[in-house]
Amino acid sequence: MASARRGSLKRYYDVNGWLFVTPALILIAIFLFYPILRSLSLSVYSGRGMMMKFAGFGNIVRLWNDPVFWTALGNTVTFFVIQVPIMIMMALILAAVLNNPQLKLKGLFRTAIFLPCVSSLVAYSILFKSMFAVDGIVNRILETVGIIDAPINWLTDPFWAKVLIIIAITWRWTGYNMIFYLAALQNIDKSVYEAARIDGVPSWRRFLHLTIPMLKPVILFTTITSTIGTLQLFDEVYNLTEGKGGPANATLTLSLYIYNLTFRFMPNFGYAATVSYVIVLMVAILSFLQFYAARERK
């Protein structure tokens, strides 16, 4: 016991070991810790461009009174509350279907569903923009089928713009999450399903009571990464709305607001840093809640 501890301590004091990790540590310090600390110190400053002054809690007071911030926060929360569950459910169902050994052309389907998340962001945004234009193909199909009478203003109506963003990110990221489930499903022992089938458990109950509980750790992982991803949602909104988060700030997200505060509006790096810490805080709280909800109960 004592020698084992001495051994680990020896390793701790071993210069060679430290030399090996030093380059990585230096890089992490410069590109991870320094920005974190610097942005934290920035968040107590405020001012125009380079003319920064110490503001104390000034930025937090401003945040509290800022209607645009609350709109952005509301939009961001709306996006993940609606989009993440839809996407996780769809990914689960798709994974279960594609895991079916009897299914033909599995590889093709898997590739097709995974493909969106490796496609170019800008290309897909432009494609979505033309597809969802007032005289675009989506409206035309919906009209031909008879679901709608008048074309939907996907990009100019505040409500439909939100729906469009949700459709866009669901399209892009469902396949990505599905791959995790597929990988996890491959690891589940087939005999579990066989036993259930012999016992006469219908397939939907096998999905609900076997697949989902066994995938719990993976579901937790994908929920957290998706939540973080949605909280940082930027590219889709930026490209689909020409960087404005319009119409009527309906698709403005926190990340886009940070961008606007730094690059489009009068640059106020301090206030932007404060808003970015709101995202940090939310990610921390939500991840904690999700871990808590998914904990092993005795």
Partner 1 sequence: MNKASLTKHFAAAALASASILSATAAMAGEITVWCWDPNFNVAIMKEAGARYTATHPDTTFNIVDFAKADVEQKLQTALASGTTDALPDIVLIEDYGAQKYLQSFPGAFAPMTGKVDYSGFAPYKVQLMTVDGETYGMPFDSGVTGLFYRRDYLEQAGFKPEDLENITWNRYIEIGKEVEAKTGHKMLTLDLNDGGMTRIMMQSGKEWYFDNDGNLNIEKNAALKAALEAQVTAVKDGIVRPATGWTDYVAGFTSGDVASVVTGVWITGTIKAQADQSGKWGVAPTPRVDIDGSVNASNLGGSSWYVLESSKEKDEAIDFLNEIYAKDLDFYQKILTERGAVGSLLAARSGKAYQEADPFFGGEQVWQKFSDWLAQVPPVNYGIFTNELDTAVTANLPSLQNGTPVDDVLKAIHDQAETQIQ
Residue 41 engages partner 1 in binding (rule: CB under 8 A):
no
Residue 243 engages partner 1 in binding (rule: CB under 8 A):
yes
Residues 2-21 that bind partner 1 (CB under 8 A): none
- Segment near partner 1 (CB under 8 A); pick from 107-115, 140-148, 195-203, 265-273: 265-273
Residue 67 engages partner 1 in binding (rule: CB under 8 A):
yes
Burial class of 154 by CB neighbour count within 10 A (0 to 12, 13 to 18, 19+) = buried
Number of residues that bind partner 1 (CB under 8 A): 36
Residue 247 engages partner 1 in binding (rule: CB under 8 A):
yes
DSSP type of residue 117? G
Residue 265 engages partner 1 in binding (rule: CB under 8 A):
yes
Residue 48 engages partner 1 in binding (rule: CB under 8 A):
yes
The closest alpha carbon to 173, from 121, 133, 213, 136, belongs to: 121
Report the C-alpha gap between 270 and 58 in whole angstroms: 10
Report the C-alpha gap between 292 and 224 in whole angstroms: 12
Name, in order, each residue with C-beta under 8 angstroms of 279's C-beta and a sequence gap of 6 or more: 231, 232, 254, 255
Residue 160 engages partner 1 in binding (rule: CB under 8 A):
no
Residue 50 engages partner 1 in binding (rule: CB under 8 A):
yes
Residue 241 engages partner 1 in binding (rule: CB under 8 A):
yes
Report the C-alpha gap between 55 and 39 in whole angstroms: 14
One character per residue 111-140, x = contact with partner 1 (rule: CB under 8 A): ------------------x---xx------
Contact by Cβ (8 Å): 52, 270: yes
The closest alpha carbon to 129, from 17, 212, 241, belongs to: 241
Site residues for partner 1 per CB under 8 A: 46, 48-51, 62, 65-68, 71, 129, 133-134, 153, 155-156, 158, 241-244, 246-249, 260, 262-269, 271
